[in-house]
């Protein structure tokens, strides 16, 4: 094992291999979920004219609400990893970067809560 | 190693780009795809509340659906939508290319360049068709 030092204390290993792997995998997995969702909705909309009734009917079944919510949460996690990378790359002062990262997280959580209401109101 | 030291003109090294260097640096096409992937992603993140609001309007009721129609009939809003859809399509197609690169498909220099061309060959016509649809050509 690489991490022979303990996980806490002043000798804690905070850089190196493994850090970021979860983000890397998460970015790919969520991107596949989003692509599948886009094709699902896109193909569904190819049949018949687009009206409120057909559009609302698409999101009426519970399974579609759940699938769409999974896609939306995937989007939020995807956006978090991407935005974190952008902040890490371009924003050097630690307190500015931490503030932007905090705002990003809270903003995305707010969007997630909102999207639940949007979906379950149909 | 001796063949390398015999090189007359050393290749320019770009360790860290500053602004004047940025203007003279010729970014290869896969690099253009990459930075556009990042810019479009950031733009979509910033526009997320707007997109959620539009999604909300489209689903809430028949009345809000008509209100959405009204909002999207505005010329400047249509223009914004065209840019957002272009950004989304670029992000999607370039993203699929990155997934293929992860699987070591098209990873060598030549096919990476060809892949970058394919990204534009797919995303730009799709964005063009979408903009025609938005502006009511068909």
**Closest Cα partner for A119 from A52, A54, A69?**
A69
Closest partner CB to B59 (pick from A31, A56, A79): A56
b/e per residue A67-99 (b: at least 16 CB within 10 A): bbbebbbbbbbbbbbbbbebbeeeeeeeeeeee
Average pLDDT across chain B, whole number:
90
Per-residue pLDDT, A36: 97
pLDDT tens for A5-46 read 556 677 766 666 667 788 899 999 999 999 999 999 999 888
Q: What is the DSSP letter of A16?
A: S
Least confident of A1-10, A82-91, A107-116, B122-131: A1-10
* Four-CA torsion B49, B52, B57, B58, nearest 10 degrees: 150
| Cβ-proximal residues to B76 (8 Å cutoff; 6+ apart), any chain | none
C-alpha to C-alpha distance for A118 and A90, rounded to whole angstroms: 34
C-alpha to C-alpha distance for B94 and B12, rounded to whole angstroms: 29
- The answer to whether the pTM exceeds 0.90 is no
Is residue A93 over pLDDT 80?
A: yes
Q: B49 and A111 in contact by Cβ < 8 A?
A: yes
Per-residue pLDDT, A20: 79
CA angle B45, A111, B97 (to 5 degrees): 35
Which chain B positions have a beta carbon within 8 Å of A61's beta carbon? none
Q: What is the mean predicted confidence (pLDDT) over A61-78?
A: 96
Q: B92 and A115 in contact by Cβ < 8 A?
A: no
pLDDT tens for B2-56 read 455 556 778 877 777 777 877 877 889 999 999 999 999 999 999 999 999 999 9
Contact A32, A40 (CB under 8 A): no
Cα four-point dihedral sign A79, A85, A89, A95: positive
pLDDT tens for B12-22 read 777 777 778 77
Structure ipTM: 0.84
């Amino acid at each position: 094992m690489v991490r022979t030092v303990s996980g806490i204390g002043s000798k804690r290993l905070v850089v190196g291999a493994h850090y970021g792997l979860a983000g890397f995998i998460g970015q790919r997995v969520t991107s596949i979920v989003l692509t599948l969702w886009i094709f699902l909705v896109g193909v569904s909309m190819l049949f018949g004219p687009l009206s409120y009734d057909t559009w609302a009917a698409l999101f009426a079944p519970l399974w579609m609400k759940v699938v769409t919510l999974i896609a939306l949460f995937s989007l939020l996690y995807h956006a978090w990893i991407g935005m974190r990378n952008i902040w890490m790359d371009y924003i050097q002062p630690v307190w500015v970067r931490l503030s932007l990262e905090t705002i990003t997280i809270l903003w995305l959580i707010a969007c997630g809560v909102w999207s639940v209401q949007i979906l379950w109101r149909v | 190693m001796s063949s390398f030291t015999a090189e007359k003109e050393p290749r320019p090294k770009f360790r860290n780009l500053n602004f004047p260097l940025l203007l003279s640096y010729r970014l290869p096409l896969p690099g253009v795809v990459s930075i556009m992937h990042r810019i479009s992603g950031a733009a979509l993140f910033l526009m997320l509340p707007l997109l959620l609001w539009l999604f909300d309007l489209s689903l809430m009721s028949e009345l809000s659906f008509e209100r959405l129609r009204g909002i999207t009939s505005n010329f400047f809003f249509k223009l914004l939508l065209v840019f957002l859809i272009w950004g989304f399509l670029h992000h999607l197609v370039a993203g699929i290319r990155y997934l293929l690169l992860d699987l070591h498909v098209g990873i060598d220099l030549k096919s990476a360049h060809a892949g970058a061309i394919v990204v534009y060959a797919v995303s730009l016509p799709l964005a063009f068709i979408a903009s025609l649809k938005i502006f009511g050509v068909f």
